[in-house]
Chain A
Amino acid sequence: GAGVSQSPSNKVTEKGKDVELRCDPISGHTALYWYRQSLGQGLEFLIYFQGNSAPDKSGLPSDRFSAERTGGSVSTLTIQRTQQEDSAVYLCASSSKQGSYNSPLHFGNGTRLTVT
């Protein structure tokens, strides 16, 4: 079956421009996560959607970052006025977590964002 799909796979943008990153989770998965990995760093939590609950935005590094999840499915991560420090691989993951903590995360292949 289809896995988690992210687009674009690569994005090069100029400093100050806005970018949108898209994630299509596995159908039926209620939980959706955004992480990023900067060069030489571990996975940094950004935002977490679980069903109809209010998203956990506690990992967003600044108010230039926002995310939404429409219809409980597709999610878009938007970065406004990009800065060079935003350059990273942005990973989306989904899981069927719904009261069960046995569910692994299924990751997409990521979007490599380069801000020049």
Chain B
Amino acid sequence: ILNVEQSPQSLHVQEGDSTNFTCSFPSSNFYALHWYRWETAKSPEALFVMTLNGDEKKKGRISATLNTKEGYSYLYIKGSQPEDSATYLCASDTGRRALTFGSGTRLQVQP
């Protein structure tokens, strides 16, 4: 994998559903993997910065896992709420330049 890829592109779920998205990134020259939430009309907000293989981070109902050997990270949202509606971005840091962002997963949670 040469670029940062995210799937799915968009997701519609009902309030209370749990969901997850995938971020694939180059596993060579890995330094860190970032997750951001970008709500409409706001600026992207950092959720997690992960550096260690096997790392798991949690923030309320949101958690993330990291596999640096195979180059993927999962973001999980448990019991989705309408306020979780946003675009979720991941970004790879290879230590050589600025972060490379994926195109994001747009989540819409229906009440």
Contacts and interface: CB of A to CB of B under 8 A. Distances in A.
Give the interface residue-count category, chain B: 20 to 34
Interface in B31-90: 31-32, 34, 36, 42-46, 49, 51, 89
Give the interface residue-count category, chain A: 20 to 34
B34 A105 contact: yes
A30 to B, nearest CB: 13
Nearest to B47: A104
Given A56-B97, A109-B42, A110-B43, A102 B32 contact: yes
A103 B49 contact: yes
Most interface-central of A4, A91, A104 (chain B CB within 10 A): A104
A91 B44 contact: yes
Contacts of B98: 33, 35, 45, 48, 56, 59
A111 B85 CA distance: 23
A104 B43 contact: no
Contacts of A56: 97-98
A15 B44 CA distance: 29
Most interface-central of B32, B44, B98, B100 (chain A CB within 10 A): B98
Give 8 closest A-B pairs by Cβ, nearest first.
Answer: A104-B46, A42-B103, A48-B98, A107-B43, A43-B101, A101-B32, A101-B31, A107-B44
